[in-house]
Amino acid sequence: MSVLRMVGRPLLASMFVAGGLHSVRRPKELAPIAESVVRPVSDRVGALPERTEQVVRLSGAVQVAAGAMLATGRLPRLSALALAATLVPTTLAGHRFWEEDDPSQRAQQRIHFLKNLSMLGGLLITADDTGAAPSLLWRGRHAARDLRREARLVRRSVRATSRPAAAVAGVRAKLPV
């Protein structure tokens, strides 16, 4: 693992672990803010709990677990996707700058909204990062290319040896037995 990954992953994950712990410990504080996003999502996704506090706590638990996994380098691509999935509704619920009337509050919420979008971008890059190991698609393409090259070599060697063998067989056929 590169030094940048060793340092960058825990830095990216730190905000999610801290925020997730807050959500797990104090879901009642965040439930009123989350209500506007949780209700429509809960109505469409039957697997989510009914109460907003439970959804906030579940989201926080996912953030803590996935954040810890990302920080330690365990399944970093999957954990980055899980964090990204929790970040979208969190951002939409918590930083609705377009609803603010006070210009200073609007500016503050816009900053937090854009900060979350930046973190989402980092998570998406992390989810795509193969850790310097080639992806399965790359491996498959190169394996196919190598097989085609080896097949061409076999075909050439068969052709190269078949001509002299045919010539020898022709000469043997003409010789008396």
- What pLDDT is stored for residue 112 in this prediction? 93
Asked whether the beta carbons of 82 and 60 are under 8 A apart, the reply is no
- Beta-carbon contacts of 85 under 8 Å, excluding residues fewer than 6 positions away, are 62
| Model confidence, pTM | 0.71
> Among candidates 76, 173, 74, which has minimal Cα distance to 129?
76
Mean per-residue pLDDT for 26-45? 86
- What pLDDT is stored for residue 1 in this prediction? 66
Tokens encoding 42:
């809960």
Number of helices (H) and strands (E) in the chain: give both, helices first.
Answer: 6, 0
Query: Which range, of 30-34, 91-95, 135-139, 146-150, averages the lowest pLDDT?
Result: 135-139
Among residues of the chain, what percentage have pLDDT more than 90?
A: 55
Statement: residue 25 has pLDDT above 80? yes
Tell me the pLDDT tens digit for each residue of 144-169: 999 999 999 999 888 888 888 878 88
